Chain A
C-alpha cells in the first residue's frame, strides 16, 4: 500500500489516507443537469476526523455517497479524483469497488431504523459482509461478528446476534451498524449524520463510541453533520459546504472561534447560547439559492453582508488566508 507523506501548508507532517480532488457530481434531472457537488477538494490524514457541515442540500451527503460511489441514476460522478491509499477509486470497475466498500472503506448512515434489513437477523447481515471481505467461513464470521458487537458495547452479544433489527432500540441499532461497518477493519470510515436520528443522551454515547474506536484503530473518519455542537466534539478539522462548494476549511478550534467566511460566522452566531435569554434566535437572511439558478460569482452573494460587485462577477477561489485556514471569500471577516 502506498502512502503519501505530504507536508501541508502549516508545515506539519501528515500521512494522507484520503485525497479528494475537484470532485464533481451531477444529477441529470428532467429540468437539466445540476451540480450537487461542484469541484470539492480535501485531504484527510490517518487518524484524523474531518467534519463536513452545511445546511440540507449543500452537497455534504452527496460528497460522501460519491466517495463510496453509491450515487444512483440520474446522478453521476462527472469529474475529479478520489484517492484512497494511493489508488484512484473512480478508475476502479464496479467489481473492484465492491471489494473496497465494506472492506477498506465503510459507511454508517443517518437512520438506524431503516438502514438495517428488517427481515434478516443482525448476525446474518454482519456475516455476509465479513464472509465477503475477510474470506472466512460462517463459523469464523459469527465469532468476528459477536466480537464486534461486544466491542461496540452491546450487552449479551450472542443473543443480539440472533435478533432482528426491530428487537433492538435505536441506539442499539446504530451500535450494530457501527459494529458492521468496522467489522472488516476499514481504514476509512464515512459517518453520514450518524447521531441525527437519536436522542441527545444516546447521541453523546454514540459519538464517544466512534471516537474511542477511531483512536483504537487509528481510523480516518469523515463525519457529516449539520450540528456544529457535534462537530466541535468530534472533528479535528472542519469543512463548511455551501451550494455544492467548499467555503471554508480549518482546524475545528480555529474555525469555531475565528471563522473567516461570513457564512460560517453567521452559522456560529445562530447557535443558541446556553443560559442567555433572547427574544429571537439569530438567523441568516434569505435562503440557499436553487442549484438550477446559481448566480454568477459567489453562491452566498444574495445573503452576504459583505457583498461587493466583485462577488457578483467572479467566484472566489479557496485560498489559504491564515496558516492552515482556507476560505473562499473576497471579503473575509475576522481578519
Chain B
C-alpha cells in the first residue's frame, strides 16, 4: 500500500509537471502579452520602450527559458505578481481561494447530506411513487441551468421574501465578533450554496440510487436477511457499505472541483471567489494568476483521483495494491 502511494505520488508529480508545461505553452500561444496591454494603455510609447519592456520582463526569451524561469520562481515559493491587480498573486488569490473553498465545500456537504439519503430511499422504494418523485426532483436539478436558478433564488428569497442578502460575501463596514461573523457568512452563503448544490444533488441521487439498487440485489443481502438482521442494519452495513465503492469515484471527482467549480454562481452572486478572477486573468493575459489557477485545478483533480484509488483499497478489501 505504501509503495503504491509513493509510486502514484511520483506519477502525479510527473503529470503535474507535464501539464504545467502544456498550460504554459498554450498561454504563450494566445494572442498578445502583458506589454501589448501597456501599449494600448499608452499610445505615446516608442518601439525602443517596447523592446526594452519585453527584455525587462523576459518576454523576448524562447518559451522553454521563460517556462524554466517561471518554474524556478514558483518552486522558490514566489507565485509571482499580478500585472492587472498590481499585487503579489498570493495576496490576491489567498483570501479568494478560501472563500471559494468555503462556498464549494458547503455546497458539497449539503448535496451529500441531502442526496445520499434520497438516493438510498429511492433505491429501497424502487418503482413506487416516492421513487418517481425523487427521480423527477433529481432530473429537475440536473436540467436547471445554475445561472437561471441563481437569479430565481435571488428574486424569490432576496426580493420577494427578503430572507437572505442578494449578493456579496459578508456584510461590509461592520465589526463583528466571531459568532456574529459566522452567522453573517452563513446568511450570505445560503443562496449560492442552494443554487450550486441542486445540480450535484441530482447527480448524486442518481448515482446513489443505482449503486444502492445494485448492492441490494446481491445474494449477501438475502443472507443478511436469513440471519434475522434488522432492516436498518441490512441497509446500512450490508447495502450502503457496498454501494459506497462505486460512489467513491464520483464523490472524489466532485471534491476536485472545490476550487474551480463555481465560476457562474460566484459571478451572479458577486461572491469574492477565485472563479471570476481566473476568467479575467485569462482574458487580460495575466499569466501568473492564470497559471496558478490552472495548477490548482490540475493538482486537485490528480490528488483526488489518487485519493479515490486509495479509498477504494480501504472500502473494498478485494482490491490490493501490493
A residues near B (Cβ < 8 Å) are 68, 70, 97-103, 106-107, 109, 111, 114-120, 128-129, 132-133, 164, 166, 177, 180-181
Q: How far is the CB of B318 from chain A (nearest CB, A)?
A: 5
SS class, residues of chain B in contact with chain A: helix
Q: Does B242 contact A (CB under 8 A)?
A: yes
Q: A180 vs B220: C-alpha distance in the bound complex, in angstroms?
A: 13
B226 touches A106 (CB 8 A): yes
B228 touches A102 (CB 8 A): yes
Q: A62 vs B301: C-alpha distance in the bound complex, in angstroms?
A: 49
Q: Which residues of B contact A117 (CB under 8 A)?
A: 220, 223-224, 238, 241-242
B227 touches A114 (CB 8 A): no
- Per the 8 Å Cβ criterion, residues 191-232 of B in contact with A are 218-220, 222-230
- Per the 8 Å Cβ criterion, residues 227-261 of B in contact with A are 227-230, 233, 237-238, 241-242, 245
Q: How far is the CB of A10 from chain B (nearest CB, A)?
A: 33
A132 touches B315 (CB 8 A): no
Of A129, A164, A177, which one neighbours B228 at CB under 8 angstroms? A129
Q: Does B316 contact A (CB under 8 A)?
A: yes
- A sample of 12 more A-B contacts (CB under 8 A), given A102-B226, A117-B242, is A70-B226, A101-B228, A102-B227, A102-B228, A109-B223, A115-B220, A115-B222, A118-B316, A119-B241, A128-B229, A132-B229, A180-B227
Q: List 15 A-B contacts (CB under 8 A).
A: A70-B226, A102-B229, A103-B228, A109-B226, A115-B220, A117-B220, A117-B242, A118-B316, A118-B317, A120-B237, A128-B229, A132-B230, A133-B228, A164-B317, A177-B223
Q: Which residues of A contact B317 (CB under 8 A)?
A: 118-119, 164, 166
Q: Which residues of B contact A181 (CB under 8 A)?
A: 226
Q: A44 vs B315: C-alpha distance in the bound complex, in angstroms?
A: 44
Q: A119 vs B316: C-alpha distance in the bound complex, in angstroms?
A: 6
Q: A119-B315, A128-B233 are in contact. Are A114 and B220 (CB under 8 A)?
A: yes
Q: Which residues of A contact B224 (CB under 8 A)?
A: 117
Q: Which 10 pairs across A and B sit closest by C-beta, in order of nearness?
A: A102-B228, A101-B228, A102-B227, A114-B219, A117-B220, A129-B227, A164-B317, A107-B226, A98-B228, A115-B223
A166 touches B228 (CB 8 A): no
Residue of A with least CB distance to B225: A70
Q: A70 vs B222: C-alpha distance in the bound complex, in angstroms?
A: 7
- A68, A97, A119, A181 interface centre (most CB from chain B within 10 Å): A119
Q: A181 vs B223: C-alpha distance in the bound complex, in angstroms?
A: 10
Q: A139 vs B219: C-alpha distance in the bound complex, in angstroms?
A: 28
Q: A164 vs B317: C-alpha distance in the bound complex, in angstroms?
A: 7
Q: Which residues of A contact B223 (CB under 8 A)?
A: 109, 115-117, 177
B318 touches A115 (CB 8 A): no
Q: Which residues of B contact A177 (CB under 8 A)?
A: 223
Q: A119-B315, A119-B317, A166-B317 are in contact. Are A129 and B220 (CB under 8 A)?
A: no
Q: A278 vs B226: C-alpha distance in the bound complex, in angstroms?
A: 44
Q: Which residues of B contact A70 (CB under 8 A)?
A: 222, 225-226
Residue of A with least CB distance to B222: A70
A109 touches B222 (CB 8 A): yes
Q: A70 vs B234: C-alpha distance in the bound complex, in angstroms?
A: 13
B220 touches A128 (CB 8 A): no
Q: Which residues of A contact B222 (CB under 8 A)?
A: 70, 109, 115
Q: Which residues of B contact A103 (CB under 8 A)?
A: 228
Q: Which residues of B contact A115 (CB under 8 A)?
A: 219-220, 222-223
B residues near A (Cβ < 8 Å) are 218-220, 222-230, 233, 237-238, 241-242, 245, 315-318
- B228, B230, B238, B317 interface centre (most CB from chain A within 10 Å): B228
Q: Which residues of B contact A120 (CB under 8 A)?
A: 237-238, 241
Q: A86 vs B195: C-alpha distance in the bound complex, in angstroms?
A: 60
Q: How far is the CB of B73 from chain A (nearest CB, A)?
A: 47
Q: A164 vs B220: C-alpha distance in the bound complex, in angstroms?
A: 13
Q: How far is the CB of A61 from chain B (nearest CB, A)?
A: 11
Q: Which residues of A contact B227 (CB under 8 A)?
A: 101-102, 106, 128-129, 132, 180
Of A99, A101, A116, which one neighbours B225 at CB under 8 angstroms? A101
Q: How far is the CB of B69 from chain A (nearest CB, A)?
A: 50
B220 touches A118 (CB 8 A): yes
Q: Which residues of A contact B245 (CB under 8 A)?
A: 119
Q: Which residues of A contact B228 (CB under 8 A)?
A: 97-103, 129, 132-133
Q: A100 vs B225: C-alpha distance in the bound complex, in angstroms?
A: 11
Q: A119 vs B233: C-alpha distance in the bound complex, in angstroms?
A: 15
Q: Which residues of B contact A106 (CB under 8 A)?
A: 226-227
Q: A120 vs B218: C-alpha distance in the bound complex, in angstroms?
A: 14
Q: A106 vs B227: C-alpha distance in the bound complex, in angstroms?
A: 7
Q: Which residues of B contact A118 (CB under 8 A)?
A: 220, 242, 316-318
- A68, A70, A98, A111 interface centre (most CB from chain B within 10 Å): A98
Q: Which residues of B contact A128 (CB under 8 A)?
A: 227, 229, 233, 237
Q: A177 vs B315: C-alpha distance in the bound complex, in angstroms?
A: 23
A166 touches B218 (CB 8 A): no
- B223, B241, B315 interface centre (most CB from chain A within 10 Å): B223
Q: Which residues of B contact A119 (CB under 8 A)?
A: 241-242, 245, 315-318
Q: Which residues of B contact A68 (CB under 8 A)?
A: 226
Q: Which residues of B contact A116 (CB under 8 A)?
A: 220, 223
Of B219, B316, B318, which one neighbours A111 at CB under 8 angstroms? B219
Q: How far is the CB of B93 from chain A (nearest CB, A)?
A: 41
Residue of B with least CB distance to A111: B219
Q: Which residues of B contact A166 (CB under 8 A)?
A: 317-318
B229 touches A129 (CB 8 A): yes
Q: A160 vs B270: C-alpha distance in the bound complex, in angstroms?
A: 59
Q: Which residues of A contact B219 (CB under 8 A)?
A: 109, 111, 114-115
Residue of B with least CB distance to A99: B228
Q: How far is the CB of A271 from chain B (nearest CB, A)?
A: 29
Residue of A with least CB distance to B317: A164
Q: Which residues of B contact A101 (CB under 8 A)?
A: 225-228
Residue of B with least CB distance to A72: B222
Q: A294 vs B315: C-alpha distance in the bound complex, in angstroms?
A: 48
